[in-house]
Amino acid sequence: MRNEKFLYLCTAMDYTINVKGRLLDFAEPRVMGILNVTPDSFYADSRAATKQAVVERARQITSDGGTIIDVGACSTRPGSAPVSQEEETARLRMALRIVRQELPDAVLSIDTFRPEVACMAVEEFGADIINDISGGSTAMFRMVSRQRVPYILTSHQPTMRGILLDFAERVQQLRDFGQQDIILDPGFGFGKSLEDNYLVMSQLEQLQAMELPVLVGISRKSMIYKLLESSPERALNGTTMLNTVALMKGASILRVHDVHEAVECITLFNRLTVKTLPV
């Protein structure tokens, strides 16, 4: 029975999303690399506030095997005050212009909760995905459906039951607006205590009932380093461990600072899937 449950959890779900006419499939999990165009993100090594730093970080993500570059220009770390829309827009324009010049075919995700900023990124730079950590708004739903761009929906609910109910309601709202491509993020670190985060992780496979790809973003977060009485700088080992758990429970995307290590994690995980195990 234990082996059967393990094999079930390791079975990859063959989801796809449409990225400007290109199908991005998740038959095997993908890595999303974080590029923060901010001076104050909680993990200092993820910050790329200069043009040269943006170039180096974008190239590192792709060379290490990342499929998606997630560009953010407004820190959402606990206790931080969001920068103005004007500042966020200026930072993003600088970074996106550079990344599009250096890596024109890269799949770009925009980490923002502002519909106007998201719209700018899509219309001016052809952003491929909108990653909205706010939990969604009518204005954002209308914008992504109008632009026909894949959308990452985040839940701030503290329990898996609440997350499922939240997603069921909001996914239907998105469908009513005509949105086709939706990715679910259970929102580790958003609206959840340390205990809530681990309980949600332990029940993560329940999100497969939504029949949509799931993104997990726990990279170097406080749920790891606070439990281990450590720091973001020393949280890579814990991140890798929990990323492995997330993969076993059906995650399609790992959003990380450390792309190389996450890609290695997926490579090893793929050797344990039903497709590669002997009959």
* Burial state string for 59-94 with b = 16 or more CB within 10 A and e = fewer than 16: eebbebbbbbbbbbbbbbeeeeeebeeeebbebbbb
Closest to 140 measured CA to CA, from 162, 165, 170, 168: 170
255 classed as catalytic: yes
C-alpha of 163 from chain center: 16
> Dmax of the chain from CA atoms?
58
226 classed as catalytic: no
Torsion of CA 180, 181, 187, 191, to 10 degrees: -20
Q: Pick the catalytic residue: 175, 255, 271, 275?
A: 255
Q: Pick the catalytic residue: 161, 221, 249, 271?
A: 221
Which residues lie below 8 Å from residue 156, measured CB to CB, with a gap of 6+? 135, 166, 187, 190, 191, 192
Closest to 143 measured CA to CA, from 172, 111, 116, 181: 116
What residues are annotated to the active site? 221, 255
